Structures are given as structure tokens and as C-alpha cells.
Amino acid sequence: SSDSTTIRATLFPGDGIGPEIAESVKEIFKAADVPIEWEEHYVGDQIDPRTQSFLTWESLESVRRNGVGLKGPMATPIGKGHRSLNLTLRKELNLYANVRPCSSLPGYKTRYDDVNLITIRENTEGEYSGLEHQVVRGVVESLKIITRQASLRVAEYAFHYAKTHGRERVSAIHKANIMQKTDGLFLKCCREVAEKYPEIKYEEVIIDNCCMMLVKNPALFDVLVMPNLYGDIISDLCAGLVGGLGLTPSCNIGEGGIALAEAVHGSAPDIAGKNLANPTALLLSGVSMLHHLNLHDKADQIQNAILNTIAEGKYRTADLGGSSSTTDFTKAICSHL
Amino acid sequence: SSDSTTIRATLFPGDGIGPEIAESVKEIFKAADVPIEWEEHYVGDQIDPRTQSFLTWESLESVRRNGVGLKGPMATPIGKGHRSLNLTLRKELNLYANVRPCSSLPGYKTRYDDVNLITIRENTEGEYSGLEHQVVRGVVESLKIITRQASLRVAEYAFHYAKTHGRERVSAIHKANIMQKTDGLFLKCCREVAEKYPEIKYEEVIIDNCCMMLVKNPALFDVLVMPNLYGDIISDLCAGLVGGLGLTPSCNIGEGGIALAEAVHGSAPDIAGKNLANPTALLLSGVSMLHHLNLHDKADQIQNAILNTIAEGKYRTADLGGSSSTTDFTKAICSHL
Ligand SMILES: CC(C)[C@H](C(=O)O)[C@@H](O)C(=O)O
Ligand SMILES: CC(C)[C@H](C(=O)O)[C@@H](O)C(=O)O
């Protein structure tokens, strides 16, 4: 069924509402004639010793082979002795940058209508080292690790992104007034990279001040780059400005150009299987994937159909205040293609 | 000049606009017949070896002796070999909890009109340990330290605050899904204290999700308690919701009931000495100090005068979109007493 122009991409439908929203993506991509053939992989029911998690080695190999993938929400099974599925993907595929475009959706009203920024998060180290230690009972410590290699890599990604996406400014977010050595190294790397991009403005903003400015006037920001935990916090904050994780795409970039796009919202087990889920975040993540594949026309076509459907307001899922089913919302998007 | 009912309190006017806004506080407190005699202390021009900072030992002794103080902005002088003035105060006075009430100001419009929460930040440990280390060139680490003692102490303060201030719920903010040992210990301590306060609801919210909820619907929150860095971030975020650090009070609580209230905004050297500064944050911090001294009537009287002056809108400083001088704004508040 695949011809020479078909691109193979890995699809992890994920848990809970994952399969339904993945179905919606497949349908819309098909209706838009996107030349993608999906290779579906599921979360296993056994721990794969090669990944120490419920994700199988074969499914990771699929992303490595294809170079691109799309991932639905995955609920990490409760219990000990295995790694979180999200962290397994980041570590095993060396997904070093998490990129989240965040823009006000025309037609979906929040307190903000002027958000148009990109958060770029270092995704492999920092506070996520996993190194923790009990010194004595009642005294515990955890290690934050910042390396020159990972900081340069994500900074380079951010400036390159800014340059190739017509963005004007990169803001490095930090707390180097307190963590002078770790966040200091991160800033030093950003400054080094900034010198190579004289056409892109560069500034440094302390994280607490950044959060205050974001809620007062998000239009002040363009591209933000930051260590892992700050990225975790700020990307969710920014998603909140435009409506939440159900509406915002995410894409992870790995070494060798791998891209794994993902919906970062939860698996919503309470509404799973009920045809109520909103596929927007997974769809927009699919759109990021298409951009990554240089299928910009298809990407724009699908993105416009999604935004127009939401703006029109006739078909909206319950989380957006409507009463449409997932399948009706999907059909409405197809009709806007 | 002091009689038996006079309370002595330390005043650090601070740098930049500090002296002007401290003058405003003194005038308004006098007009309201607050029985306080100020003991003024200044930041020194030499490093005091006993504090390793420009704050003298005598000025810290003054707060210890009086038990209460009010602090304007202090610009930490640039250079090496000394500690930040804010951190010196926290360490030397063991100011373990930073309390910031954050409410929408009637009459001062932002995107939010429904904020009414209190952030309570652990103020002595966590990411602020000051322990950093270069492993090899290009690899640095910093240590976050969480102790049972400090976590119980701030949790106890938060629940006691909730109970004595008619608050319903305490939310502990954390990232224990990643930092299981450190943030896990913090949560364990919060749970232990929660058991002693069955009348106060208790919940745990992951920091990224908390920031998203705060910008979507801050009315969901009541009292928030958290480790140091999360407190730093979230308290500024919340200040941003209601207008910024120029409008929000802060009070640090230390062992033995010490209270050091402070304006947490900067010293604004660009407008210093020009009679343009907004004294509101320092005034409201002074109001927190009065509550701490159980001078609730005086506190309410002054707070109402401030809020009414701002709401009336006739006298506002430039940062609030007006053109009043500090002294005219101050007189207007006095006339509302
Ligand atoms: C689920 C959790 C481990 C994860 C993180 O902290 O990175 C999530 O919040 C995210 O942003 O992808
Ligand atoms: C100035 C800085 C060291 C300080 C902090 O990080 O605690 C400030 O942001 C605060 O919140 O008081």
C-alpha cells in the first residue's frame, strides 16, 4: 500500500482517550491526503527489560527507524521497578528539546487574546537527573545537573528555530542569581550561541519575574528557552493562557533529527471510550510533525480546518463548552479541509 | 518619646525608592495613630564580617530585639565575597516562612477579578542551599535539600494560618512525581500536619498543573504551601495576576515569632528621589506587620484607606496609570483614614 512518496511515521495511540483521538488524526490526515503511513505501536503489558518500562524496545526502534512519530497520552502504570513512559521515551530516544508553540486561538476566548510564543525546554537533565539521596533520616537531597553539551544543544535549537521561523527574540529563562553555577552555565551557553545569531535579539529573564510578566503581558515574549523544570512549569503556564493542554501541541526533538510529537494532556480515563474526547492537542501535534517533515502546505491546511471549526463554534467538544462528539468534531474538521 | 504602650519596630528603608516609600509609611502610620516607634537601620557601606554582607550585625540585632520589622527594597551591591542582603536576612533571622496574601484590588482592573489566595513559601532550604559544584569542566550540579524539620515547620505555619484566618483549604505544591525523595518528604510532612487539622481541607497539586490552573482559574486556590523555589515562582506569578509586585505585600516569619514584612519589588534606581514611587507594596506589608502585632483595627483602617484611594482613581502613581506624586498619593490615603 505504500508507494515511493509515502512517509512512514510511528503512532502511539496511548491509553484512555488515546485511541479515539488517534482515530480522529488518522481520519483527518487521510481526508487531507497526507502521504503518511502509520506504524502503530502500543504500550506493552509487561516490563521490557531493555527499556525498564512498559514501552517495548521494538516500539522505540520504530521511531528511530522512521525518524518521526506521534504520541497520545500514556498513563504510567502504578507500581515500582519501572520508569515512567514519558521519561523512557525522552531518555531512550535522547529527545533533548521539547518545543511547544502557544498561541491564542481565534474564536476560543480566554482572558488573553495576544499570546504568540514558543517555549523550548531542555528535556534530558537538570532537576530530572533522577539522582536523589537520603543523607540521614529527615534530610534528603536531589541533584540538578547542567551540562555544557545539553545546554548548547538546546540553545542552538532555539536560535535556529527562531531564525527559521521568522521570530525576533530568544529569552533565556533562569535563576542564576541563586543557582550561579548550574543556571550560570546554562546562560553562558545561551550567550555563546546568541553570538552566532546577531540577527536574533537575546535577553535573559529570571524565572519568577518571567512568570509575572507572562501573566501580565504575554505579548512581551517570543521564543523562550530554559532548563528542564522551568520548561515544565512555564510551558504549562503558557498553555493555560490560551485554554489548557487540550488545545496546545508539543513536539520533542532528538539527536539525528528525530521528532516525536505528542499531546501532553492526560489520558482522561473517566471519559475514555465515550466519544467525548477533544482531539485538538493531538491534531495540532500532528501538524507540528508535518512541519518537521516539511509538509508545510498540508500542515497549514489541517491547522486552518481545526481553527476554523473551533472558531465557528458549531461543533465543539464538552471541554470547550460544546456538546459535540469526537466523531462529529472530526467530521466538521474534514468538511473544512 | 515612647510611652508604655508604644511598640518598637525596626525599619529598613532600603535603597533607591526605599527612603521615599518608607517616609510614606511613617506618615500614614502616624496619621492613623499607630503606636509604633520606628528604629531605623540602613544598609552599610562595608561588609560586616559577622554577617558576611553589607547588613550590619546591629541591624539584625534590632529585628531580633524588637521581634518585628519592615523592610524596603535593597539592591545587593555588585561584587564578590558577600551574601545577598535578602538571603542574609533570611538566614541570620531564620525567616522560615514567606507569606504573601494576594487579592484582586477593587478598582484596579487586571485580567482577573477573582483572586483571593495566600502563598506560603518555605524560605530557608530547597534549591537555595547554596551548594553547587563543578564535577568536571562543562558539568555542574547543584543540591536541593529538603528536611523534615523545615517542612513540618512551614506546613504547621500554613495550616495554623488557614485555621486562624478563616481559610478552608491548604494546597501543597510539589513535583514529587519527579523528585520523589525531596518533594516526597515535603508532602509527607504536609500530610502529617494535615491530620492535625481535620477542619481544613488538604490537597496536593503538581507545580506545572498548579501554574496552569492559576492562570485559568485562580479562584480555585485558597492557601498554598510549597518548597522554596516553587514559592519564589508562584508568589510572583500570583502577584502578576493582581497587578504586580508594586501592589502586593509580603511578610517573613521567623522562629520565636519574629516577623519581617517587606516590599519585594526592586529599588527602581531610575525613579529614585523623584517623588514618583508607589508606596503601596510597602504600606500593605506594613499592614501585615500590624496584623502580626494584633493591631487588627489599625491594619484594617489603613488597608481600607489605601484600597479606597486606589479605587477612587483620582490619585494614582505612574505605575498604576496615574500622574500623582508619592507625596500626593500619601496625602490622599491620609485623608481616607
Ligand atoms: C508527567 C511528567 C513526568 C511530565 C514532566 O514532568 O516532564 C509532564 O509534566 C510533561 O510536561 O511532560
Ligand atoms: C532577589 C532574589 C534572591 C529573591 C529570591 O529568589 O528569593 C526574590 O526573588 C524574592 O522572591 O524575594
> Residue B237 and residue A209: Cβ atoms within 8 Å?
no
Beta bridge partners of A174: A206
Closest-CA distance of chain B to residue A31, Å: 34
Cα atoms in the Cβ-side hemisphere of radius 13 Å centred on A156: 10
pLDDT for A246-300, tens place per residue? 999 999 999 889 999 999 999 999 999 999 999 999 999 999 999 999 999 999 9
Alpha-carbon distances of B158 from A297, B67, B122, B225, rounded to whole Å? 54, 20, 10, 6
Neighbours of A127 (CB within 10 A): 26
Phi-psi region of B78 (alpha: psi -120 to 50; beta: other; left: phi over 0): beta
> Residue B138 and residue A149: Cβ atoms within 8 Å?
yes
Most confident among A218-227, A313-322, B39-48, B103-112 (mean pLDDT): A218-227
Cell numbers representing residue A10 in the block: 510511528
Q: Quick one: average pLDDT of A5-20?
A: 95
Which of B173, B293, B172 is CA-nearest to residue A236?
Answer: B173
Phi-psi region of B279 (alpha: psi -120 to 50; beta: other; left: phi over 0): alpha
**What is the Cα–Cα distance from B83 to B91, expressed in whole angstroms?**
10
pLDDT for B29-63, tens place per residue? 999 999 999 999 998 888 888 888 889 999 999 99
Nearest atom in ligand 2 to B264's CA: 12
Which of B315, B283, B319 is CA-nearest to residue B301?
Answer: B283
Local structure of A138: helix, strand or coil = coil
Determine whether the shortest distance from the Cβ of B76 to ligand 2 is under 6 A: no
pLDDT for B79-115, tens place per residue? 666 778 888 899 999 999 999 999 999 889 999 999 9
**Minimum CA distance residue for ligand 1 atom 12:** A264
**What is the Cα–Cα distance from A189 to B45, expressed in whole angstroms?**
34
**CA A42 from chain center: how many Å?**
19
Residue of A nearest to B112 (CA): A111
One-letter identity of residue B152? L
Question: What was the pLDDT predicted at A1?
Answer: 42
Residue with cell 483571593: B116
- Please identify among residues 238-297 of chain B the ones whose CB lies closer than 8 Å to any CB of chain A: 239-241, 243-245
Neighbours of A281 (CB within 10 A): 23
- Please identify among residues 92-111 of chain B the ones whose CB lies closer than 8 Å to any CB of chain A: 110-111
pLDDT for A67-85, tens place per residue? 999 999 998 776 666 778 8
Q: Which residues contact B249 (CB under 8 A, 6 or more apart)?
A: B100, B101, B261, B263, B281, B284, B285, B287, B288
pLDDT for A164-192, tens place per residue? 999 999 999 999 999 999 999 999 999 99
Which of A124, A232, A267 is the pocket-test mutation for ligand 1 (most atoms within 8 Å of CB)?
A: A232
Residue of A nearest to B147 (CA): A139
Give the number of the ligand closest to the Cα of residue A267.
1
| Axis crossing angle, helix A18-31 with helix A296-312, rounded to the nearest 10 | 120
Which of A86, A120, A128, A248 is the pocket-test mutation for ligand 1 (most atoms within 8 Å of CB)?
A: A86
Q: Which residues contact B77 (CB under 8 A, 6 or more apart)?
A: B54
> Residue A141 and residue B146: Cβ atoms within 8 Å?
yes
A264 burial level (CB within 10 Å; 0-12, 13-18, 19+):
buried
Nearest atom in ligand 1 to A262's CA: 12
DSSP class of residue A336 equals T
Q: Are B41 and B22 in contact (CB under 8 A)?
A: no
Band of the pLDDT at A43, cuts 50, 70, 90? confident
Q: Quick one: average pLDDT of A96-103?
A: 97
Q: What residues in B contact A234, CB-CB < 8 Å?
A: 211
Question: What was the pLDDT predicted at B326?
Answer: 98
**What is the Cα–Cα distance from A206 to B143, expressed in whole angstroms?**
19
Nearest atom in ligand 2 to B84's CA: 3
One-letter identity of residue A115? V
Question: Is A181 in the B-facing interface, judged by CB distances under 8 Å?
Answer: yes
Which of B173, B174, B178, B230 is the pocket-test mutation for ligand 1 (most atoms within 8 Å of CB)?
A: B178
**What is the Cα–Cα distance from A69 to B134, expressed in whole angstroms?**
37
Question: Is B79 in the A-facing interface, judged by CB distances under 8 Å?
Answer: no
b or e along B227-238 (b: 16 or more beta carbons within 10 Å of the residue's beta carbon)? Answer: bbbbbbbbbbbb
> Residue B182 and residue A142: Cβ atoms within 8 Å?
yes
- What are the φ/ψ torsions at residue B147 (nearest 5 degrees)? -120, 155
Determine whether the shortest distance from the Cβ of A232 to ligand 1 is under 6 A: yes
Determine whether the shortest distance from the Cβ of A177 to ligand 2 is under 6 A: yes
Q: How far is the CA of A232 from the centre of ligand 1 (A)?
A: 7
Q: pLDDT 10s per residue in chain B (337 long)?
A: 445 589 999 999 999 999 999 999 999 999 999 999 999 999 888 888 888 888 999 999 999 999 999 999 998 776 666 778 888 899 999 999 999 999 999 889 999 999 999 999 999 999 999 999 999 999 999 999 999 999 999 999 999 999 999 999 999 999 999 999 999 999 999 999 999 999 999 999 999 999 999 999 999 999 999 999 999 999 999 999 999 999 999 999 998 899 999 999 999 999 999 999 999 999 999 999 999 999 999 999 999 999 999 999 999 999 999 999 999 999 999 999 9
Q: Is the pTM of this model over 0.85?
A: yes
Question: Is B182 in the A-facing interface, judged by CB distances under 8 Å?
Answer: yes
Question: Is B216 in the A-facing interface, judged by CB distances under 8 Å?
Answer: yes
> Residue B138 and residue A148: Cβ atoms within 8 Å?
yes
Determine whether the shortest distance from the Cβ of B232 to ligand 2 is under 6 A: yes
**Minimum CA distance residue for ligand 1 atom 9:** A232
**What is the Cα–Cα distance from B3 to B8, expressed in whole angstroms?**
11
**Minimum CA distance residue for ligand 2 atom 12:** B264
> Residue B141 and residue A144: Cβ atoms within 8 Å?
yes
Q: Quick one: average pLDDT of A44-53?
A: 86
Question: Is A127 in the B-facing interface, judged by CB distances under 8 Å?
Answer: yes
Determine whether the shortest distance from the Cβ of A116 to ligand 1 is under 6 A: no
Local structure of A331: helix, strand or coil = helix
Residue pairs spanning A and B at CB distance below 8 A: 154
**Minimum CA distance residue for ligand 2 atom 11:** B232
Query: Parallel, antiparallel, or unpaired for β A68-71 and A7-12?
Result: parallel
Q: What is the dihedral of CA B252, B254, B256, B258, to 10 degrees?
A: -40
**What is the Cα–Cα distance from B201 to B59, expressed in whole angstroms?**
40
> Residue B216 and residue A137: Cβ atoms within 8 Å?
no
**What is the Cα–Cα distance from A108 to A248, expressed in whole angstroms?**
13
- Percent of chain A, pLDDT > 90? 89
**What is the Cα–Cα distance from A328 to A326, expressed in whole angstroms?**
6
Which of B142, B177, B211 lies closest to A179 in CB terms? B142
Q: Are A172 and A155 in contact (CB under 8 A)?
A: yes
Question: What was the pLDDT predicted at B47?
Answer: 87
E strand segments, B34-128: 36-40, 68-71, 95-103, 116-122
Residue with cell 507625596: B327
Closest-CA distance of chain A to residue B105, Å: 15
Q: Which residues contact B88 (CB under 8 A, 6 or more apart)?
A: B51, B52, B53, B55
Question: What was the pLDDT predicted at B3?
Answer: 52
Question: Is B236 in the A-facing interface, judged by CB distances under 8 Å?
Answer: yes
Q: How far is the CA of A251 from the centre of ligand 2 (A)?
A: 32
Band of the pLDDT at A2, cuts 50, 70, 90? very low
E strand segments, B138-208: 139-147, 169-174, 201-206
Residue with cell 562543562: B138
